[in-house]
Amino acid sequence: MKRILLAVALAAVFAAASLTACASRQDPNKNKEKNNAQENQPPTQEEEEPVLPQEPQKEQPVKPEEEEEQPQLEEGAESRTSANPTAVTEFSQYTSLDPTKKGWGPGGPVDELNRSQGALAYQELYGKYNADFIGENKKQICLTFDEGYENGFTDDILDVLKEKQVPAVFFVTQPYVETEGELIRRMINEGHIVGNHSVNHPSFPDTPLAQCKEEIQGLHNYVKENFDYEMNLFRFPMGEFNEQDLKLVQDMGYRSVFWSFAYRDWEVDNQPDPSQALTSIVEKAHPGAIYLLHAVSQTNAEILGDFIDSMRAQGYEFISYPDTSL
């Protein structure tokens, strides 16, 4: 019976994600053209359906990396497990694993605790690869933000987090790190976690494994060299992955962090109504929630403080990402 329920939940996830399978790794140039074409197409899903966040691309002027240190709220990365991106040198070991492309976007049925059954099913299926789709069954929330480019709201978000004494994880790409050194330093100095979102934000299942490794290791090395900071959390671009990718990320000493809540917040010219957005994200709260929010969103910056207050009033605790041994 457990296998039947798991199969039903997984079927709901695949239907909600609206993604097709990829039987094998493809030519990277061909995939690049495919990704560019997809990025130019307007989304067709409704807000209440599962969605796959897209990172908008935007050039920004380079900012100096040397900035004054901000007061620390707590110690940052010292106690976290260190990644080892150079550990992987051979890729033949992954050929026995499933290369089928999967896309993650929680939606569909929920259990009696308001938790996505799809997230619970994926957690059971892929948790062995140190992948997190949902946290423990506790009234705890982990806030995560994806950063593809700066839209002027990250400072406001950091101000709210500092005022409310709430930690968060910021998943960044290399172009963001290169242009927003001041914000990266502030994130680190104020006790937040900076996570790896790859160098160029490609679809990993459509990218050769050796190149996937470079996407992770390149950003890891850049942040280490320029900020003396060790990253060990990874978020797949667009939530797209396969079993080979999960194992690669694990072998590089990283945890794969997905999410159990996301909504259509990344379209800067089509922002959700703040009142409606606040109601939605409060109503979708659940034990072990991993929230994915985009820092380019003006709505998120406006409602973040009220969201934190509402959740605390309901007995929820905002936690830093657990330091789970790899």
pTM score of the predicted model = 0.78
Instruction: Tell me which residues are annotated as active site.
Output: 146, 294
Q: Pick the closest to residue 296 from 182, 207, 176, 209 (CA basis).
A: 176
Q: Pick the closest to residue 299 from 267, 324, 326 (CA basis).
A: 267
CA distance readout (Å), 309 to 81, 109, 299: 31, 27, 16
pLDDT means over runs of 10, the chain (326 residues): 43 41 42 38 36 44 42 38 77 96 88 96 97 96 97 98 98 98 98 98 98 98 97 97 98 97 96 97 97 98 98 97 57
- pLDDT at position 322 is 77
Domain spanning 2-23+85-318: CATH 3.20.20.370: yes
**First and final CA of the chain: distance in angstroms?**
31
112 alpha-carbon distance from chain centroid: 25
Q: Pick the closest to residue 241 from 232, 250, 230 (CA basis).
A: 250
| C-alpha atoms less than 13 angstroms from C-alpha of 76 in its C-beta half-sphere | 25
Domain boundaries, the chain: 2-23+85-318
Query: In angstroms, rounded to a whole number, what is the distance separating the alpha carbons of residues 301 and 297?
Result: 7
- pLDDT at position 88 is 86
- pLDDT at position 113 is 97
